[in-house]
Amino acid sequence: MIRSMTGFGAAEGPVGGSRVSVELRSVNHRFFNPSIKLSTALSQWEGEVREALRQRIARGHVTAMARVERNEESGLSVDEERFARFAADLLRLRDAHGLSGDVDVATVLRMPDVMRVQQDEDALAAATADELLAVVGTAIDALQAMREAEGSRLAEVIAERLTLVEQAVARIAARAPERMEAQLIRLKGSVERLAGGVSVDPQRLAQEIAILADKLDVGEELDRFSSHIAAFRDTLKANDAEPVGKRLGFLLQELLREANTTGSKANDAAMLQDVVAIKEELERIREQVENLE
């Protein structure tokens, strides 16, 4: 299944006695690179969330956020022990460093976790990792659905570009014999002019023609072109769950290598024009392949 590395997925569900919402966003990255942001009450399960993402997503920078939805009946409470500790620390730091100003209530209340949603936290006390992972799994399903839809569109674009490459390769294959014959005729004419009527060893001439023919022959390159294009199409059509981005990237490198070799042997304006067209299309394909998982 072709999947893009770009997507979004969200889900909401019960965790303990509260409801938790999960949002996932993914963008391009060479490897699996998660960034997990959980609310304090859920942070103990960060490792489990990371592993759940890793098992389902092979490549991409994935940002996962999970937060507890506040109940309308929930009330704010002050953690007095934490409040007292922060207040004492702030006063000590002020006196130790000779700073001016008062430590007021508002300042202390803004310190981390001094204000708490008591009812929600009590409800999460009975929560389990499996409950959170169930919500995360639903969000992953939504993310993968979007990535697969985008991947399908990218695969269509890539297939169209690959057809243009195939057409250019076919034109080179059709032109190659004509170009070879013209080059050999040109070589014989050049030898005759240079010889100026002097007898030329036919065996030596045949050897030189054979060497030139070998240098100009692009048959092997065309065969490998066809093989790589067929492998590329098969990969695009694969229905298994394995990511294909890296394999397609490798095949692109092989196609570009054949294009460069063909260009170095071409010595023909029409063939060189098609080689340039192939390289342009391969670059366009590469830009799309970089978006695939």
Per-residue pLDDT reduced to its tens digit, 245-267: 999 999 999 999 999 999 988 88
Residues 159 and 272 in one domain: yes
Residues 104 and 178 in one domain: no
Indicate whether 267 belongs to any domain: yes
Residues 56 and 105 in one domain: no
User: Looking at 187-288, which runs of residues are DSSP E strands?
Assistant: none
Q: Note the pTM of the prediction, 2 decimals.
A: 0.72
Residues 33 and 156 in one domain: no
Residues 174 and 274 in one domain: yes
How many domains does the structure of the chain reveal? 3
Tell me the CATH number at 233: 1.20.140
Q: Is pLDDT above 90 for 202?
A: no
| pLDDT tens digits for range 94-115 | 888 888 888 888 888 888 877 7
pLDDT of residue 41: 81
CB of 262 closer than 8 Å to CB of 279: no
Residues 142 and 163 in one domain: no
- Residue 178's pLDDT band (boundaries 50, 70, 90)? confident
Tell me the CATH number at 61: 3.30.230
Residues 277 and 227 in one domain: yes
Residues 235 and 221 in one domain: yes
Residues 58 and 143 in one domain: yes
Range of the domain at 15: 7-72+126-147
Higher pLDDT, 238 or 46: 46
Q: Is pLDDT above 90 for 286?
A: yes
Token readout for 131 is 């409950």
| pLDDT tens digits for range 208-236 | 667 766 777 888 999 999 999 999 999 99
Indicate whether 244 belongs to any domain: yes
Q: Is 38 helix (H, G, I), strand (E, B) or coil?
A: strand
- CB under 8 Å to 9, separation ≥6 — which residues? 23, 24, 139, 140, 141, 142, 143, 144, 145, 146
Indicate whether 131 belongs to any domain: yes
